């Protein structure tokens, strides 16, 4: 599914001076790490199926805008976003499905990247605590959560422009 050349990103921090958009670089880091750790669900229908069984298993839901005139996909995305809001899953809208594919090293042009779920890192199923241990998240994941928290509750989700490379 993904190109084997995708490798774990060693540094989890980013510099606002070095990057055009720190949030877009942060998304890139989070996606690449989650890909290496096999914590992604790719595609709108697989994401909906995953969430119907594991509503507490996703940390982020990245979506792209539906093509103009594609009302069926638009309705699914609206319902998905409402479900995510209800289940406290951070929704992040990005500008390009093509950039998501490149970012994750996918060369299959037919594969649907209109929605990508990033699952929580491994959680101990035998733990009595139902709370997420935020200390196991990467710095980039915590930075992305901070960004989402600052923008939580707005009726319009901000579209983030992903880096070209």
- For residue 136, the model assigns a pLDDT of 80
Dist. CA 6–CA 164, nearest whole Å: 16
Q: Which domain holds residue 116?
A: 38-121+137-160
154 assigned to some structural domain: yes
Q: Which long-range contacts (CB under 8 A, 24 or more apart) does 126-131 make?
A: none
73 assigned to some structural domain: yes
110 assigned to some structural domain: yes
CB 47 within 8 A of CB 79: no
Dist. CA 51–CA 87, nearest whole Å: 10
Dist. CA 146–CA 11, nearest whole Å: 19
Q: pTM for this one?
A: 0.77
8 assigned to some structural domain: no
- For residue 36, the model assigns a pLDDT of 92
The stretches in the chain having pLDDT less than 70 are 1-21, 123-134, 154-156, 165
49 assigned to some structural domain: yes
- For residue 130, the model assigns a pLDDT of 53
- For residue 21, the model assigns a pLDDT of 54
CATH number, position 92:
3.30.1330.30
63 assigned to some structural domain: yes
5 assigned to some structural domain: no
Give the model confidence (pLDDT) of 18-46 as tens digits: 334 589 899 999 999 999 999 999 999 99
CB 73 within 8 A of CB 114: yes
Please tell me the total count of domains within the chain: 1
- For residue 107, the model assigns a pLDDT of 81
132 assigned to some structural domain: no
- For residue 55, the model assigns a pLDDT of 85
């Amino acid at each position: 599914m993904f190109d084997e050349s995708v490798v774990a990103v060693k540094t989890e921090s980013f510099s606002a001076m070095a990057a055009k958009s720190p949030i877009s670089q942060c998304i890139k880091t989070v996606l690449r790490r989650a890909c290496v750790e096999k914590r992604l669900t790719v595609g709108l229908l697989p994401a909906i199926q995953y969430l119907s069984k594991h509503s507490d298993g996703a940390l982020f839901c990245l979506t792209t805008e539906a093509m103009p005139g594609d009302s069926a996909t638009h309705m699914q995305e609206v319902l998905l976003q409402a479900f995510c809001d209800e289940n406290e899953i951070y929704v992040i809208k990005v500008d390009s499905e093509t950039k998501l594919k490149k970012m994750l090293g996918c060369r299959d042009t037919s594969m649907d990247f209109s929605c990508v779920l990033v699952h929580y890192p491994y959680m101990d199923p035998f733990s009595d605590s139902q709370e997420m241990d935020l200390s196991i998240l990467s710095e980039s994941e915590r930075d992305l959560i901070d960004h989402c928290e600052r923008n939580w509750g707005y009726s319009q989700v901000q579209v983030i422009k992903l880096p070209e490379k």
